[in-house]
């Protein structure tokens, strides 16, 4: 078991990559705290983990809201005494070239994707600092490094998450806390299905176009990202600090 007894908080783990990661982590012995805004999705992940014999609880919190996040962290510390790994996974999309998106969309995407990394980290870090141990995984994206059409605000937020990761690593290395980032390419999740549905008339053609963006010729699957997250969460990656980890089928360098 690669994560035996590790206490791991995964934000936005009711769906997609977060859910897949929660299932994998639990199968590797972790005690998983499933966080999501959606109670139904979060409890769905927990039910799936328990059905497979794993350990998990669901806690509702909005990752942008200090009140609900600090209450969630207090609750975890009360129940488990520590948090070994924080996976800042929750995020939302925002489609459009810069002049096409409304200020409300800009604020919403910036809020969830950047503040949603800051707030959980702010309340988990003091506990990691106290124990001088921890691993934080931040969800960036390959759009932090490559230009993609109509992804302006989303790309800006994922670039910010990558910069934040490096800065956090410098500040927390003295406390034996590692902070790394995941940079997935296009992964087939409800997030991408929704993007196809709302952005294109011919979804099949758009899907074929998305596949061609990867050297692999296909989209990734949530499990592909979950396996990379497992490596960053485990002690096997102990020499990785402040690193971007690409899981993109060659989209970034192709
Ligand atoms: P998803 O939509 O399937 O899952 C995201 C989950 O986050 C949802 O369950 C949602 O309810 C939750 N969430 C949203 N806002 C929240 C909030 N304020 N507080 C708590 N939970 C909240 O998406 P996904 O594709 O699994 O994406 C997960 C992460 O991976 C996101 O950060 C996304 O930007 C990133 N990512 C996705 C892809 C992709 O192609 N799918 C590629 C690169 C990066």
pLDDT digits (tens, 9 = 90+) for 80-135: 999 999 999 999 999 999 999 999 999 999 999 999 999 999 999 999 999 999 99
- Give me 30's structure tokens: 């972790």
Number of domains composing the chain: 1
pLDDT for 4 equals 98
On whether residue 209 sits in a domain, the answer given is no
- Give me 246's structure tokens: 């690409």
- Cβ of 141 closer than 6 Å to ligand 1, yes or no, is yes
pTM of this prediction exceeds 0.90: yes
On whether residue 201 sits in a domain, the answer given is no
- Cβ of 88 closer than 6 Å to ligand 1, yes or no, is no
On whether residue 194 sits in a domain, the answer given is no
Residue 158 CA: nearest ligand 1 atom is 34
- Cβ of 18 closer than 6 Å to ligand 1, yes or no, is yes
On whether residue 211 sits in a domain, the answer given is no
133 vs 6, 46, 56, CA distance in Å? 12, 26, 22
Instruction: Tell me which long-range contacts 167-171 makes (C-beta under 8 A, separation of at least 24).
Output: 168/121, 168/136, 168/138, 168/242, 169/241, 169/242, 170/242
Using an 8 Å Cβ cutoff, are 26 and 2 in contact? no
Distance CA 59, CA 65 (A): 14
Phi, psi at 251, each rounded to 5°: -65, -35
Rounded to a whole number, what is the largest CA-CA distance in the chain?
53
Atom 41 in ligand 1: which residue has the minimum CA distance?
Answer: 187
* CA of residue 169 to ligand 1 center, whole Å: 23
pLDDT category at 194 given cuts 50, 70, 90 is confident
CATH code: domain of residue 231: 3.40.50.720
Q: Which of 180, 193, 192 is nearest to 228 (CA)?
A: 180
On whether residue 30 sits in a domain, the answer given is yes
On whether residue 119 sits in a domain, the answer given is yes
Using an 8 Å Cβ cutoff, are 31 and 49 in contact? no
Sign of CA dihedral 137, 76, 13, 149: negative
Assess whether pLDDT exceeds 80 at residue 217. Answer: yes
pLDDT category at 191 given cuts 50, 70, 90 is confident
Using an 8 Å Cβ cutoff, are 197 and 153 in contact? no
- Please report the beta strands in the chain, taking only residues with DSSP state E, as ranges in sequence order: 7-10, 31-36, 55-60, 85-88, 134-139, 177-184, 244-247
Mark whether 200 is an active-site residue.
Answer: no
- Give me 143's structure tokens: 């759009």
Domain extent at residue 86 = 7-189+221-247
- Cβ of 191 closer than 6 Å to ligand 1, yes or no, is yes
- Interface predicted TM-score of the whole assembly (ipTM), two decimals: 0.99
pLDDT category at 159 given cuts 50, 70, 90 is very high
3 state DSSP class of 93: coil
On whether residue 89 sits in a domain, the answer given is yes
On whether residue 197 sits in a domain, the answer given is no
């Amino acid at each position: 078991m690669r994560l035996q007894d590790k206490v791991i908080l995964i934000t936005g783990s009711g769906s997609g990559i977060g859910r897949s990661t929660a299932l994998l982590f639990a199968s590797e012995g972790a005690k998983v705290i499933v966080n999501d805004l959606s109670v139904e999705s979060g409890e769905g992940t927990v039910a799936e983990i328990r059905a497979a014999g794993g350990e998990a609880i669901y806690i509702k919190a909005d990752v942008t809201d200090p009140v609900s996040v600090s209450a969630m962290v207090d609750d975890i510390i009360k129940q488990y005494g520590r948090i070994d790994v924080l996976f800042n996974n929750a995020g939302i999309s925002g489609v459009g070239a810069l002049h096409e998106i409304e200020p409300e969309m800009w604020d919403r995407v910036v809020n969830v994707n950047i503040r949603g990394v800051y707030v959980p980290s702010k309340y988990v870090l003091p506990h990691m600092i106290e124990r001088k141990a921890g691993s934080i995984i931040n969800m960036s994206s390959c759009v932090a490094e490559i230009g993609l059409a109509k992804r302006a605000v989303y790309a800006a937020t994922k670039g910010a998450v990558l910069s934040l990761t490096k800065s956090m690593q410098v500040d927390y290395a003295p406390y034996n806390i590692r902070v790394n980032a995941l940079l997935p390419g296009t992964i087939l999740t409800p997030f991408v299905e929704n993007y196809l549905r709302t952005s294109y008339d011919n979804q099949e053609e758009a899907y074929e176009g998305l596949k061609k963006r990867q050297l692999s010729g296909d989209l990734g699957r949530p499990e592909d990202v979950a396996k990379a997250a497992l490596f960053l969460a485990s002690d096997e990656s102990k020499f990785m600090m402040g690193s971007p980890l690409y899981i993109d089928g060659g989209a970034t360098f192709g």
